[in-house]
């Protein structure tokens, strides 16, 4: 990154003479020199005539190349309005997809999350774990089955889902966040009755795939207020203690609504909502509920994007300020979405 700074000097030369601070009678005299690029002979009549900064380039210019450290400081400075806006606010992040499969992207997301926590935001991290579940099912010789994008979950599959999500993926993420410098606490929907599940309307076909009947944030609020990062696996139990696998987008949306979160962010494997599904360059940067419903009706939003959009719309209707569907394949997309005007996907507003 190269920044041009223009200095314009009056036609006076370098000089060296004693100067006394007029505001301090006890100040010591000192000498200094100011180079004049045009005439090295004449002297400045007054130290205040030494250098003038102007917004328009004139005849004398010098190019200053910022060091990487200076560039980082400038970027951080530009983030100040966003840090001030979101400081003390709760944001719920749903983590999954490509960002979960790649170690480099995983590292990026964890660092983004910890940085946001360090500058005063209050993140809540919700995760699924589809790829890891599939890997363990394969090891055990069980073939995964899906119906309209939802995992068909019989009793044996449910046991593996809970073991992998709660016992392995959740604790791995907690460890990564702790190692990055924040304090994470791992939970599932079962802990503290955070989530109470009910069977899905399609339970006959899907098995132990559930919806959310109730959210109790009592266990979350003390953690958030003490600057801990809750890490929540998308498993919950019904009133009788039966475990259910719940879509992680749904979990994130319902928790965001129950907490009155400022923002819900869904990390996905696409750029966001596209005006033309066949044109990656047709990204819709911002849209309201009416607009996104119109896109669904027109067939521009379809397939796996519909549940994500519905999740966002439901959260907005329940009080979440803004929701975003962002590209989890891009490094530091989380920071880009929260701390810049550009964003990293599609923001949906009420």
pLDDT digits (tens, 9 = 90+) for 18-67: 444 444 444 444 444 444 444 444 443 444 444 444 344 444 555 556 57
Q: Three-class SS of residue 244? A: strand
Confidence (pTM): 0.77
Task: Give the residue-averaged pLDDT of 314-330.
Answer: 93
The residue that leads in pLDDT, 68 or 130, is: 130
> What is the DSSP code (8-state) at residue 217?
G
Say what the pLDDT of residue 130 is.
80
Q: Worst-scoring range by mean pLDDT, 21-30, 56-65, 169-178, 333-342?
A: 21-30
The alpha-helical segments, DSSP class H, found in 260-297 are: 289-297
Cβ partners under 8 Å of residue 311, min gap 6:
249, 250, 252, 253, 266, 323
The alpha-helical segments, DSSP class H, found in the chain are: 68-78, 80-86, 98-101, 103-118, 130-139, 155-162, 170-179, 203-206, 220-225, 248-259, 289-297, 305-317, 333-339
- Pairwise CA distance, residues 226 & 21, whole Å: 49
Task: Give the residue-averaged pLDDT of 124-135.
Answer: 90
Task: Give the residue-averaged pLDDT of 271-292.
Answer: 90
- Per-residue pLDDT of 109-125, as tens digits, reads 999 999 999 999 999 99
Which of 62-71, 155-164, 221-230 holds the top average pLDDT? Answer: 221-230
Say what the pLDDT of residue 342 is.
83
Q: Worst-scoring range by mean pLDDT, 65-79, 233-247, 301-315, 326-340?
A: 65-79
What does pLDDT average to over the chain?
A: 82
Q: All domains of the chain, ordered by start, with CATH?
A: 1-65 (no CATH), 79-349 (3.40.1160.10)
Task: Give the residue-averaged pLDDT of 86-99.
Answer: 90
The residue that leads in pLDDT, 9 or 153, is: 153
Edge-to-edge order in the sheet of strand 229-233: 184-188, 229-233, 122-127, 90-95, 263-268, 322-327, 345-349, 286-288
* Long-range contacts from 162-168, C-beta under 8 angstroms, 24+ separation: 162/188, 162/235, 162/243, 162/245, 163/136, 164/129, 164/132, 164/133, 164/136, 165/127, 165/128, 165/129, 165/132, 165/133, 165/233, 165/234, 165/235, 166/233, 166/235, 168/129, 168/132
Q: What percent of the chain has pLDDT over 90?
A: 53
- Per-residue pLDDT of 244-277, as tens digits, reads 999 999 999 999 999 999 999 999 888 899 998 8
């Amino acid at each position: 990154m190269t920044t041009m700074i223009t200095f314009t000097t009056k036609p006076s030369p370098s000089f060296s003479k004693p100067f006394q601070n007029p505001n301090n009678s006890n100040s010591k005299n000192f000498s200094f020199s100011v180079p004049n690029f045009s005439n090295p002979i004449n002297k400045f009549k007054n130290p205040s005539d030494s250098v003038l900064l102007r917004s328009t380039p004139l005849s004398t210019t010098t190019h200053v190349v910022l060091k990487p450290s200076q560039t980082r400081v400038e970027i951080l400075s530009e983030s100040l309005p966003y840090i001030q806006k979101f400081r003390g606010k709760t944001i719920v992040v749903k983590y999954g997809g490509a960002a979960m499969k790649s170690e480099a992207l995983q590292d990026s997301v964890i660092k983004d999350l910890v940085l946001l926590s360090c500058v005063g935001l209050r993140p809540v991290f919700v995760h699924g774990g589809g790829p890891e579940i599939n890997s363990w099912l394969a090891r055990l010789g069980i073939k995964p089955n899906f119906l309209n994008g939802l995992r068909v979950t019989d009793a044996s599959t449910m046991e593996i889902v809970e073991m992998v999500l709660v016992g392995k993926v959740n604790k791995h993420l907690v460890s990564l966040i702790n190692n990055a410098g924040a304090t994470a606490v791992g939970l599932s929907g079962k802990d503290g009755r955070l989530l109470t599940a009910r069977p899905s309307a399609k339970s006959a076909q899907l098995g132990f795939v559930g919806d959310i009947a109730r959210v109790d944030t009592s266990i979350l609020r003390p953690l958030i207020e003490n600057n801990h990062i809750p890490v929540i696996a998308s498993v919950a139990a019904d009133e009788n203690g039966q475990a259910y696998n719940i879509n992680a987008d749904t979990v994130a949306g319902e928790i965001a609504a129950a907490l009155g979160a400022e923002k819900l962010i869904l990390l996905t494997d696409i750029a966001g909502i596209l005006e033309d599904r066949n044109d990656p360059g047709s990204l819709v940067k911002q849209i309201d509920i009416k607009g996104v419903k119109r896109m669904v009706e027109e067939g521009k939003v379809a397939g796996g994007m519909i549940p994500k959009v519905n999740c966002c719309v439901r959260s907005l209707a329940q009080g979440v300020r803004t929701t975003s569907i962002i590209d989890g394949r891009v490094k530091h997309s989380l920071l880009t979405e929260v701390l810049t005007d550009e964003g990293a996907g599609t923001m949906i507003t009420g």
